[in-house]
Amino acid sequence: MALFKRGFTEEILEARVKNRRTHMANERTFLAWIRTSIGIMAFGFVIEKFLVPIGKDNIQDFHNIFEAHRFIGLLGVFLVLLGAATGLLATFRFIRTEKEIMQNTYHPSIIADILIAIILGSIGILFVIYLIFIEPTQL
């Protein structure tokens, strides 16, 4: 935590000790975001590597199988990138919130929460599109 000790007066450091429960809550929130990030990346990896359509004997279905595999691959890569972006956003929020708590200027922000809700909603829409347009017989 030496990163946060530079440039702060003794008064601000005392406020940090006084608000230690708030700092611990901030750290728990950060760790929850990191777990979410890892989960999203793992889900994307599983989709990319293990949900590969099984080929058929009929050559006419080869094009449909290829398209389904490409869609699954892109969805998996998108989720891995989304998980990495979530981890970066969590780190940024943690550092900013930690500094604001120490300076007693913390104001909650819902922008990141709304952003995550929109992104998760778009993932749900992508899965619905996948389930509608990729027939079970193609898999």
What's the pTM value of the predicted model, to 2 decimals?
0.67
pLDDT at 8 over 60: yes
- pLDDT tens digit sequence for 47-78: 888 765 554 454 455 556 566 677 778 888 88
What is the secondary structure of 15-62 as a DSSP string? HHHHTHHHHHHHHHHHHHHHHHHHHHHHHHHHHHHH-PPPP-S-GGGH
Output the six-digit token pair for 93. 């929020």
Show Cβ contacts of residue 53 under 8 Å, excluding neighbours closer than 6 positions: 65, 68, 69, 72, 138, 139
Q: Identify the sign of the CA torsion 17, 20, 24, 27.
A: negative
Q: Determine the Cα–Cα distance for residues 138 and 41; give it in Å rounded to an integer.
A: 26
CA atoms within 13 A on the CB side of 59: 0
pLDDT at 139 over 60: no
